[in-house]
Amino acid sequence: MDILITGLLLGGTYSLIAMGLNLQYGVARIMNLANGEMLVIGAFAAFWVFTAGQISPILSIVVVAPLAFLLNWLIYRFMLLPLVRRAKSAGQLEVDSILATFGLAFVFVGIMIATFGGEYFTYSYLAEPFVILGETYALNRVVAFVLAAIMCGLLYLWLNKSRPGMAVRAVAVNPESSGLVGINVSRVSAFAFGLGGAVTAVGGTLISTFLTMDASIGVLFTMKALIIVIMGGVGDVRGVIVASLILGLAETAVASLIDPGLTLAAAYFMFILILLFRPQGLFGRRSS
Amino acid sequence: MKRRTILKLAAATALAGTMAFGGAQAADTIKIGASAPKTGPLAGGSTVTHWPNIKLWVEQVNARGGLQLKSGKAKLELVEYDDQTNPGEAIKNIQRMATQDKVDFIIAPYGTAFNLATAPIFDKYGYPQIAVSAISDQIPELTKRYPRLFFTLGTTTAFAQAVADILVQMKNDGKIGSKVAMVNVADAFGIELAAAARPIFKKAGLDVVYDKSYPLGTQDLSPIVKGAKASNPDSFVAWSYPPDTFGLTQQAIIQNLDVKAFYTAVATCFPAYGGKFGSKVNGNLGAGGINPDTPAMQAYAAAHKKITGKDADGWASATTYASLEILEQAIEGVGSADRDAVTDYIKNNTFKTVMGDVTFKNQNNDVFWTVGQWQNGKYYGVASTGRPGEKPVQLKSGWN
């Protein structure tokens, strides 16, 4: 039971890391390697607001989310849209966007180091014990999990029950045909990219309450997000949730039952299994 | 044809110009090169411990007019490179500073692996290398192989031994039992320390009841703390790196891991550690220490805060600064930028530094701090191999 809850909490963290990338890659077709840096920026913002004004990281989401949306929307509009227009095939866009966002990651790291310096930033927020079924957990992780669940739920409902959500899904399935039925593909893509960035930054804000970070740690999160998105299947919210939970549970089970040293091995073992037996991901569609 | 001649002429003039300029410059500046992480996994540590001290030292020396050479005062000019926490990049940087920037001296890089990786290059170009953030048991072999390499911070065994000594002392005083939970980060540093600690702990009569490692960058350390807690230990020892030092401490608070001695390694002495946890970490033990109450240390801490805007850490910060003081005194003692003479001077003299007197025996400083402890919001050295001012160790009494 303890392993189950710890694993679920870790899975919630992972879904925060990966959900934004899923939107960006699945809908806007941008394999955003600067995803982890966006997460660190969100964390930085929370840290800054918390140490400067004792303002709760949860409240700072209200500011972080729109700002991150705007920033990512601008990035898509002015940096990535020219690449999308120029690309002759999906493959070319993938290569171009990987190169461009790889560069962008360095720009972000540079800006963060120039403005905040390179040292570790960490603060204590809700670092209190929280008892579930007689076992103790960190309250900040529980809060992050609950908010992650709410965020994933809202995203899922919005994508599946609303008209704009349907347009987003249509673009995820097939950009060309979506254009034919009157969807403004570049606008929807820009929106999805911005939304993905906002979700990632909010994830960073929540994660900063329990992880110690520094300006150059983003790449770790990008790697984790890539694994989860590919495991879950590109462009499907359910895939990310399920893959995150599986990964969280597997890592916790291995750490508690076998050896903490093997958590990474367990994660990559799962990854290889899925690549071998379901290369399109758990919820992915087989590419035609 | 004609254009080419003009170009050549222009190039020759430019070259002559720079050479003349270079020659004139050599008399009144000393060029110092520095390469260490500004980005990458080790950047978080080097921006606390390494870079601020270089800035502090250069500003202080230049503020008093420069170094006193035989030919007059020489100001310092600093050349900085980011090694991106990549040993290959570090080697390239050192090479570049030696051959292209033609710096007079190079400050040793940050991190054990980086000091070892660049030692051959320092040696090849004849630069003295006063390593600070480098802890190894191979010091005798390394200094024999590289006659310009100096060590200041201590050995792996000494650090493990000091922790064992403290625990044994507490046990003999009847304050704690013999059960130790030990964890380590699965990285060169943690593996080496855990390997050194196992036989030492055993010999000291300590009973290691939990012994696990975890990968660098583990995002949830709660299974480890829970596992340690389940083994019901009297003391907890973690050979940890900064992010996990923070993570393990936080989990220990949340799980209420009630031990009488709680030790985490790197970054326990960071100001951010005390800043984050406040009074909860009173009694926490960590790697390395200082005696913050000497007048020299107080002046250093104040200057560090004033010039860099940040607090120095409770361990390698001051030693980094001391290594620069040693370089400074050796250059002034020789009276020129003669690198061979400066290297010999370092080998054969005693230096007055912020840490106290430093003398190298076989290129190694064997008087160093090994363990420190947070006591009433301040980090004090509690064990050393001969530094004065060790505070008595306190028992940890709960997380509040």
Query: What angle (nearest 5°) sits at the alpha carbon of residue B266, between those of residues B261 and B270?
Result: 95
CB environment B160-171: b (16+ within 10 A), e (fewer):
bbbbbbbbbebb
At B230, the pLDDT band (50, 70, 90 cuts) reads very high
Give mean pLDDT, residues B114-141: 92
Give me the pLDDT at residue B186, please: 86
Q: Is the pLDDT of residue B14 over 70?
A: no
**Residue B131 sits at the chain A interface (C-beta within 8 Å):** no
DSSP state of A261: G
Q: What percent of chain A has pLDDT over 70?
A: 99
**Model confidence pLDDT, tens digit, residues A35-49:** 999 999 999 999 888
Q: Please state which of the four CATH numbers 1.25.40.10, 1.20.1260.10, 3.40.50.10860, 3.40.50.2300 is assigned to the domain occupying B156-291+370-384.
A: 3.40.50.2300
What is the tens place of the pLDDT at every residue in A237-282?
888 899 999 999 998 998 888 888 888 888 889 889 988 988 888 8
Please report the residues numbered 258 through 277 in chain A whose beta carbons come closer than 8 angstroms to any beta carbon of chain B: 259-261, 263-264
Q: What is the pLDDT of residue B21?
A: 44
Residue A13's nearest CA partner among B252, B219, B245 is B219
Cβ pair A16, A207 in contact under 8 A: yes
Integer Cα distance of A217 and A116 in angstroms: 14
For residues B357-379, give the mean pLDDT: 92
Q: Angle at Cα B365 formed by Cα B361 and Cα B370, nearest 5°?
A: 145
Chain B residue numbers with beta carbons less than 8 Å from the beta carbon of A266 are none
pLDDT at B29 over 60: yes
Domain B2-155+293-368 falls in which CATH fold?
Rossmann fold (3.40.50)
The neighbouring-strand residues paired with B32 are: B78, B105
Q: Which residue has the higher pLDDT, B328 or A136?
A: B328
Calculate the CA B210 to chain-centre distance. Answer: 29
Answer whether B2-155+293-368 and B156-291+370-384 agree in fold: yes
CB contacts of A224 in chain B (<8 Å) are 219
Average pLDDT over residues A147-159: 91
B210, B254, B256, best to mutate vs chain A, most A CBs in 10 Å: B254
Confidence band for B12, pLDDT divided at 50, 70 and 90? low
Q: How far apart are CA A210 and CA A25, in angstroms?
A: 27
B379 DSSP β-pair partners: B374
Q: Is A137 on the interface with B (CB under 8 A)?
A: yes
Q: What confidence score (pLDDT) does residue A286 get?
A: 60
Q: Is A123 on the interface with B (CB under 8 A)?
A: yes
Q: For chain B, what is the HEC assignment?
A: CHHHHHHHHHHHHHHHHHHHHHHHHHHHEEEEEEEECCCCCCHHHHHHHCHHHHHHHHHHHHHCCCEEECCEEEEEEEEEEECCCCHHHHHHHHHHHHHCCCCCEEECCCCHHHHHHHHHHHHHCCCCEEECCCCCCCHHHHHHHCCCEEECCCCHHHHHHHHHHHHHHHHHCCCCCCEEEEEEECCHHHHHHHHHHHHHHHHCCCEEEEEEEECCCCCCCHHHHHHHHHCCCCEEEEECCHHHHHHHHHHHHHCCCCCCEEEECCCCCCHHHHHHHHHHHCCCEEECCCCCCCHHHHHHHHHHHHHHCCCCCCCHHHHHHHHHHHHHHHHHHHCCCCHHHHHHHHHHCEEEECCEEEECECCECCCCEEEEEEECCEEEEEEECCCCCCCCCCCCCCCC
Task: Give CA–CA dist B83/B62, Å, rounded.
Answer: 26
Ranges B20-24, B104-108, B233-237: which has the least confidence: B20-24
- What average pLDDT does chain A have? 88
- Residue A225 reports pLDDT greater than 60: yes
Contacts B256 to A, Cβ<8 Å: 129, 136
Nearest to B217 among A215, A220, A260 (CB): A220
Using CA atoms, how far apart are residues B380 and B393, in angstroms rounded to an integer?
10
B367 touches chain A (CB under 8 A): no
**Mean per-residue pLDDT, B161-178:** 90
pLDDT computed for residue A3 by the predictor: 86
Specify the pLDDT at position A134. 80
Domain ranges of chain B: 2-155+293-368, 156-291+370-384
Of A3, A122, A138, the CB nearest to B272: A122
B183 and chain A in contact, CB less than 8 A: yes
A50: tokens are: 């918390």
Which residue reads 């990964």 in tokens?
Answer: A247
Q: Determine the Cα–Cα distance for residues B50 and B153; give it in Å rounded to an integer.
A: 13
A120 touches chain B (CB under 8 A): yes
B254 near A CB under 8 A: yes
Q: Is A117 on the interface with B (CB under 8 A)?
A: yes
Contact B315, B321 (CB under 8 A): no
Question: With an 8 Å Cβ cutoff, are B250 and A127 in contact?
Answer: yes
Q: Within an 8 Å CB–CB cutoff, is residue B62 touching chain A?
A: no
Size of interface A-B (CB pairs under 8 A): 121
Q: Smallest Cβ distance to B247: which of A136, A212, A216?
A: A212
* Position with higher pLDDT, B140 vs B9: B140
> How many CA atoms, within 13 angstroms, populate the side-chain half-sphere of residue A142?
14
Residue B46, chain A, CB below 8 Å: the answer is: yes
Which pLDDT belongs to residue A86? 87
Residue numbers in A near B253 (CB within 8 A): 127
For residue B5, what pLDDT is reported?
Answer: 54
- Binned at pLDDT 50, 70 and 90, residue B2 comes out as low
A115 touches chain B (CB under 8 A): no
Residue with tokens 């008093």: B64
Compare CB distances from A256 to B40, B85, B227 and report the shortest one's residue: B227
Nearest to B219 among A13, A122, A138 (CB): A13
Give the number of C-alpha atoms closer than 13 A to the C-alpha of residue B16, restricted to the C-beta side: 6
b/e per residue A245-268 (b: at least 16 CB within 10 A): bbbbbbbbbbbbeeebbbbbebbe
Nearest to B195 by CA among B182, B206, B205, B204: B182
Q: Average of pLDDT values for B168-197?
A: 90
- Classified as helix, coil or strand, A135 is strand
From chain A, pick out residues whose CB is under 8 angstroms from the CB of B217: 220
- Which residue of chain A is at minimal alpha-carbon distance from B40? A216
**CB of B334 within 8 A of CB of B104?**
no
